[in-house]
Homo-oligomer: A and B are copies of this chain.
Amino acid sequence: MKQSQTLIPTLREVPADADIKSHQLLLRAGFIRQNASGIYSFLPLGKKVLQKVEAIIREEMDEAGGVEVLMPALQPAELWETTGRWGTYGPELMRLTDRHNRSFALGATHEEIITSLLRDEVNSYKKLPLTLYQIQSKFRDEKRPRFGLLRGREFLMKDAYSFHSNKESLDEAYEKLMQAYSNIFRRCGLDFRAVQADSGAIGGKDNHEFMVLSEIGEDTIAFSDASDYAANLEMAAVTTSYPEQAHSGKDMTAVDTPDQKTITEVAAFLNVAASDVVKSMLFIADEKPVLVLIRGDHEVNEIKVKRALNAKVVELATHEETSTYLAAAAGSIGPVGVSEDITIIADHAVKSMGDLIIGANKEGVHYKHAKLNRDFSISQFEDLRFVVEGDPSPDGNGTIQFAKGIEVGHVFKLGTVYSEPLNATVLDENGRATPMIMGCYGIGVSRTVAAIAEQFNDDKGLTWPVNIAPYDLHVIAVNMKDELQSQVAEELYKLLKDYRYQVLLDNRPERAGVKFADSDLIGLPVRITVGKRASEGIVEVKIRKTGEVHEVQKEELTDKLQDIFRQLSNI
A contacts, CB < 8 Å to B = 1, 4-7, 9, 33, 35-36, 39-44, 46-48, 50-51, 65, 67-76, 91, 94-96, 98-99, 102, 104, 106, 113, 117-118, 120-122, 126-127, 130, 132, 134, 136-137, 139, 141, 143, 153-154, 156, 509
Q: Which of B67, B75, B121 contacts A9 (CB 8 A)?
A: B121
Q: Determine how close the nearest CB of chain B comes to the CB of A46; give it in whole angstroms.
A: 8
Q: Tell me whether B72 and A39 are in contact (CB under 8 A).
A: yes
Q: Considering the chains assembled together, what is the distance between the CA atoms of A5 and B130 in angstroms? A: 6
Residues of chain B within 8 A (CB-CB) of A143 are 99
Q: Determine how close the nearest CB of chain B comes to the CB of A172; give it in whole angstroms.
A: 13
Q: Determine how close the nearest CB of chain B comes to the CB of A135; give it in whole angstroms.
A: 10
Q: Which of B47, B65, B67, B99 contacts A70 (CB 8 A)?
A: B47
Q: Determine how close the nearest CB of chain B comes to the CB of A475; give it in whole angstroms.
A: 18
A130-B7, A132-B7 in contact; A50/B74 too (CB < 8 A)?
A: no
Q: Tell me whether B141 and A99 are in contact (CB under 8 A).
A: yes
Q: Determine how close the nearest CB of chain B comes to the CB of A326; give it in whole angstroms.
A: 40
Q: Tell me whether A50 and B70 are in contact (CB under 8 A).
A: yes
Q: Tell me whether B72 and A43 are in contact (CB under 8 A).
A: no
Residues of chain B within 8 A (CB-CB) of A43 are 69
Q: Determine how close the nearest CB of chain B comes to the CB of A536; give it in whole angstroms.
A: 32
Q: Considering the chains assembled together, what is the distance between the CA atoms of A41 and B112 in angstroms? A: 13
Name A123's closest neighbour in chain B (CB-CB): B9
Residues of chain B within 8 A (CB-CB) of A39 are 72, 74
Q: Determine how close the nearest CB of chain B comes to the CB of A383; give it in whole angstroms.
A: 38
- Which of A65, A72, A74, A75 gathers the greatest number of chain B CB atoms within 10 Å? A72
Q: Tell me whether A153 and B68 are in contact (CB under 8 A).
A: no
Q: Tell me whether A72 and B7 are in contact (CB under 8 A).
A: no
Q: Tell me whether A42 and B65 are in contact (CB under 8 A).
A: no
Q: Tell me whether A72 and B132 are in contact (CB under 8 A).
A: no
Pick 23 A–B contacts, CB within 8 A, sort by A: A4-B127, A5-B130, A7-B67, A7-B118, A7-B122, A9-B122, A35-B71, A35-B72, A36-B72, A36-B76, A41-B113, A42-B70, A43-B69, A44-B67, A73-B154, A74-B153, A91-B99, A94-B98, A96-B106, A99-B141, A99-B143, A126-B509, A136-B137
